[in-house]
Amino acid sequence: MISLSNALEEKLKAALEKAFSVASEPAGSARISLDPQLVTASKPEFGDFQANCALALAKSLKESPRAIASLIVDQLNADKSFLRLCEPPQIAGPGFINFTIRSECLIEELRKRLIDKRLGVHLVDEALPREKLGTVVVDFSSPNIAKEMHVGHLRSTIIGDSISRVLEFRGYRVLRLNHIGDWGTQFGMLITYLKDVAPEALERPDAVDLGDLVVFYRKAKQRFDEDSLFQKNAREEVVRLQRGETLSKKAWGLICHQSRREFQKIYDQLDVQLTERGESFYNPLLHKVVNDLDDCGLLVVDSGAKCVFLEETFGKDGKALPVIVQKSDGGFNYATTDLAAIRYRFGEVPEGDGAQRVIYVTDAGQANHFSGVFEVARRAKWIPPDCNLEHVPFGLVQGEDGKKLKTRSGETIRLRDLLDEAIQRAKVDLCRRLDEEGRQEDETFIEQVSATVGLAAVKYADLSQNRITNYQFSFDRMLALQGNTAPYLLYAFVRIAGIARKGGDLQAHIDKIEFNQDEEWALLKQLLRFDEVIVQVEEELLPNRLCNYLFELSQTFNRFYDQIPVLKVEEPIRSSRLAICRLTADTLKLGLGLLGIPTLERM
């Protein structure tokens, strides 16, 4: 209802201007604020919107708030165009003004939405050509080579994908970057170890799996700690790799390739698109980061390490904490790479991305890392005017016992196993239901529905939590058909598809729309809020707002569906009801789509 609330706000501003124009201000007083303070009504019985300005104005004008409110209402009631938009306003409590949009206007909005693929959500800046809008970089997922992708990476992948989808839908150019951990001294160890025990892994792209690499990595580290000759060889290997020697580069490339294959399976399964640009990409820019920090006078050498000290951040000992950009052995850090990446993304480097906003989706444990890195970039003046860096943190994924998520035998859960289990459990639920309902379905149906529901459940469970808090992973809860779950929302959509199968033409053109039941109006008003919710998600980067909205929409729809007959009524009521069913289906489909969840016609 953004267009309606904007229209109402304009009328209110005009009324305020008329009632309290400068002329009536007491001489010498400061200019009073004529902001209508319009908000969404807190309860449906108060109408649709509420203006709170009378209370603030009463203070400046030394009048009673109700008297002020009634002056405003008089102005509004004298405005014909206002009365076409709203019912006569009501003054409530100490001086709030409540507004109810006229039903004709709501129906008009419904008509507009029925022919608008974007369902009322405007492009971010329609006046600007797309290429003028700055790019938004969303840095998400970002697992590490030769390590299993863990549930934290899953969270980052799901949240980052949804944020990217919302921003893309609003019309931004989004660069979805996978900042893979593909560089570092550990590769020296791993290559040296593989040369010895599994040389084929350094020759063929498909010789080993990520699982094998993880084991090799663990053993390599053990050998490194115990064996001084191995240590020496591994260090020499790092030097060769950093120098870019062909054989070392090739071995490194093969290791990356074998990890990447496994990551890609997960991305394919989740339908997530990412452009890989790992840490190694920024190698050639690292020296310049250190030199330029030195030139700005920000660098301090502390026990041989090159650091930037930030007075605001303190360690446990009360001393200022440094951001270390080059270790005493000459090696660079995670932070150095992130600094180089910032410069590249903002386009400090000629071929860079020209981003306007860079969003990092990682666990909250990296908050200090990012605030340090962002502050260094700010001091070095690497953040162009009107550009932003944002860390989008999320909490831990916990098991049902509130502890770290583990398998029964106490090991970390492999993501592929976790997703497969969700699908498997969805299949068991589905087969039980089919049995109870005496339905016969073929194998393709069962496979497709279980995969969609299982993956949707995992994604939705994650997205529907406020991302900042820790979240408890529970297959039972996320797969339940009742409650704020993916199956519940998917089922609402299936009900509407069912209406169509029973002969309701959802696409039919309608001339006359007429509603006469509270459930219809409640559903329509809920539908018209979609545009506000999307804009809010874009601003706060909180996909759970969209989840809550879709959940409430499904509940409102289910109340309508249970109480109100759709097919067995006369025209024009029948077509009118079919029309809101269709808008409900479209809104659920688009909304779930922005969460990365596809809908089903039957389940």
Applying CB under 6 A, the residues found at the interface with ligand ARG are 139, 142-144, 179, 181, 338, 341, 360, 362
- For CA atoms 254, 256, 258, 264, the dihedral sign is negative
Pairing label, strands 38-40, 96-99 = unpaired
Least Å from the CB of residue 341 to ligand ARG: 6
Look at residue 305 and give its three-state secondary structure. strand
Per the structure block, which two tokens stand in for 2? 């953004």
Least Å from the CB of residue 534 to ligand ARG: 26
Toward ligand ARG, which CB reaches closer, 134 or 152?
152
Rounded CA-CA distance 50/42 in Å is 8
Look at the block and give the residue holding tokens 């209508």: 36
Rounded CA-CA distance 576/3 in Å is 22
Angle at 162 between CA 159 and CA 166, to 5 degrees: 140
Least Å from the CB of residue 360 to ligand ARG: 5
Toward ligand ARG, which CB reaches closer, 359 or 528?
359
Least Å from the CB of residue 428 to ligand ARG: 33
Least Å from the CB of residue 140 to ligand ARG: 8
Helix (H) or strand (E) holding 361: strand 355-363
Look at the block and give the residue holding tokens 């299982």: 454
Toward ligand ARG, which CB reaches closer, 92 or 364?
364
Least Å from the CB of residue 69 to ligand ARG: 51
Rounded CA-CA distance 61/68 in Å is 9
Q: Which of 158, 163, 179, 167 is nearest to 270 (CA)?
A: 158
Q: Which of 51, 145, 157, 146 is nearest to 98 (CA)?
A: 51
Toward ligand ARG, which CB reaches closer, 47 or 278?
278
Closest-approach residue to ligand ARG (CB)? 142
Toward ligand ARG, which CB reaches closer, 144 or 280?
144
CB neighbour burial string for 463-499, b if at least 16 within 10 angstroms, e if fewer: bbbebeeebbbebeebbbeeebbbbbbbbbbbebbeb
Least Å from the CB of residue 353 to ligand ARG: 13
Least Å from the CB of residue 143 to ligand ARG: 6
Q: How many residues does the chain have?
A: 603
State the alpha helices, DSSP H only, in 437-511.
Answer: 443-463, 475-479, 486-501
Sheet holding 388-394, edge to edge: 275-276, 173-178, 135-139, 355-363, 388-394
Toward ligand ARG, which CB reaches closer, 275 or 440?
275
Toward ligand ARG, which CB reaches closer, 3 or 398?
398
Toward ligand ARG, which CB reaches closer, 151 or 523?
151
